Structure 1
Amino acid sequence: MIGDQESIDSVLNRLRRAHGQLAGVIAMIEQGRDCKDVITQLAAVSRALDRAGFKIVATGLRECLAGAADGSEAPMTEAELEKLFLALA
């Protein structure tokens, strides 16, 4: 689980938007559109995916810290946190 329903909905909306943008990029390439236009849209897809990933990490971090504070989960190590953030870099 990556968070409360609001966080999940936010991530899903971002991913759906990226999905639509990626379909648009594919169509642009198939149509032989200008490279500049394709790259601009591809960059938008990349940003949408990055934002979804950062939202997942931020929400997970918040839950992990809350779980560690109440004793329901073991706290994440610094190495685990670093690995999560670097996975999105």
Structure 2
Amino acid sequence: MQIDQDALGDVIKRLRRAEGQIRGVIAMIEDGRDCAEVVTQLAAVSRALDRAGFKIIATGLRQCVTAEAGDRESTVDVAQLEKLFLSLA
């Protein structure tokens, strides 16, 4: 499976954002910040990673559905698939 380059760019942006958030969480822990603040930031990192993973899944599913459709017009919307996957998380 090849990931669409636009989707891949979005995934990389999300992962870089998560990477920055993780560095921030590490700094918070080293600085002795409040536990609730650390947990809030960890939850944000988790959501960012989930979104990156779901973007990859949604893109792959779209490619599979498009391949099955063959010559027919495919009406798969990646944003809708991503939203559906996120509703299950």
TM-score surpassing 0.5? yes
Tell me the C-alpha RMSD between the 2 structures.
2.0
Q: Which residue does the alignment assign to 1:47?
A: 47
Secondary structure at the counterpart of residue 33 of structure 1: coil
CA distance in 1, matches of 2:30, 2:68: 50
Q: Which residue does the alignment assign to 1:19?
A: 19
Structure 2 unaligned regions, length at least 5: 71-84
- CA offsets, 1:28-49, max 9 Å, x none? 1011100011011101000000
Report % sequence identity: 68
Q: Which residue does the alignment assign to 2:10?
A: 10
Write the mapping of 1:6-85 to structure 2, written as runs, cut at 5 A. 6-70=6-70
1:2/1:56 contact within 8 Å kept:
no
- CA offsets, 1:23-80, max 9 Å, x none? 110111011100011011101000000000111100000111222333xxxxxxxxxx
Q: After the TM superposition, which parts of structure 1 deviate over 6 Å for at least 4 consecutive aligned residues?
A: none
Structure 1 unaligned regions, length at least 5: 71-84
Corresponding pairs, count: 74
CA gap of 1:45–1:2, structure 2 versus 1, over 3 A, is farther
TM-score, normalization: structure 2?
0.73
Secondary structure at the counterpart of residue 3 of structure 1: coil
